[in-house]
Chain A
Amino acid sequence: MKYSAFQVIKQALRGHKGWIPAWRDPEPANHYDIVIIGGGGHGLACAHYLAKTFKQKRIAVLEKGWIGGGNVGRNTTIIRSNYLLDGNEPFYEFSLKLWEGLEQDLNYNAMVSQRGILNLIHSDGQRDAFIRRGNAMILNGADADLMSTEQIKRKYPFLNTDNARFPIQGGLAQHRGGTVRHDAVAWGYARSADQHGVDIIQNCEVTGFRIENGTCTGVETTRGFIGATKVGCAVAGSSSRLMSKAGMRLPIESHVLQAFVSEGLKPVIPGVITFGAGHFYCSQSDKGGLVFGGDIDGYNSYAQRGNLPVVEDVCEGAMAIFPMLGRARLLRMWGGIMDMSMDGSPIIDRTHIKGLYFNGGWCYGGFKATPASGYAFAHLLATDTPHPTATAYRFDRFEKGLMIDEKGMGNQPNLH
Chain B
Amino acid sequence: MIIDHPLLGPRDASEFVYLGDASLIDRPNPDTEDASHAFYEYAYLRDNPAGLHRELWFHEAGDRSWLVVTRNTETHEITKVEFAKDVARLAGRSL
Contact, CB under 8 Å: B47 / A249: yes
Q: How large is the interface on B (under 10, 10 to 19, 20 to 34, 35 or more residues)?
A: 20 to 34
Q: Which of B12, B47, B71, B73 contacts A244 (CB 8 A)?
A: B47
Flag whether A391 is at the interface (Cβ < 8 A). no
Contact, CB under 8 Å: A411 / B50: no
Instruction: Compute how far the CA of A209 lies from the CA of B41 in the bound complex, rounded to whole angstroms.
Output: 23
Instruction: Return A47 CB to nearest CB of chain B, in Å.
Output: 26
Flag whether A351 is at the interface (Cβ < 8 A). no
Flag whether A195 is at the interface (Cβ < 8 A). no
Q: Output the nearest chain B residue to A312 by Cβ-Cβ distance.
A: B14
Given contacts A307-B13, A309-B13, A399-B37, contact A300 B44 (CB under 8 A): no
Contact, CB under 8 Å: B46 / A309: no
Q: How large is the interface on A (under 10, 10 to 19, 20 to 34, 35 or more residues)?
A: 20 to 34
Flag whether B48 is at the interface (Cβ < 8 A). yes
Instruction: Return A240 CB to nearest CB of chain B, in Å.
Output: 4
Flag whether B80 is at the interface (Cβ < 8 A). no
Instruction: Compute how far the CA of A194 lies from the CA of B75 in the bound complex, rounded to whole angstroms.
Output: 36
Q: Which of A306-329 contact B (CB under 8 A)?
A: 307, 309
Per-position 1/0 for B1-28, Cβ under 8 A of A: 1000000000011100011110000000
Q: Which residues of A contact B21 (CB under 8 A)?
A: 253, 300
Contact, CB under 8 Å: A307 / B18: no
Q: Which residues of A contact B43 (CB under 8 A)?
A: 342, 398, 411
Q: Output the nearest chain A residue to B20 by Cβ-Cβ distance.
A: A253
Flag whether A299 is at the interface (Cβ < 8 A). yes
Contact, CB under 8 Å: B46 / A301: no
Q: Which 7 A-B pairs have the closest CB atoms?
A: A240-B48, A309-B14, A249-B45, A398-B44, A302-B50, A251-B44, A399-B40
Point out residues on A near B: beta carbons under 8 Å.
Answer: 240-241, 244, 249-254, 298-303, 307, 309, 342, 398-399, 411-414
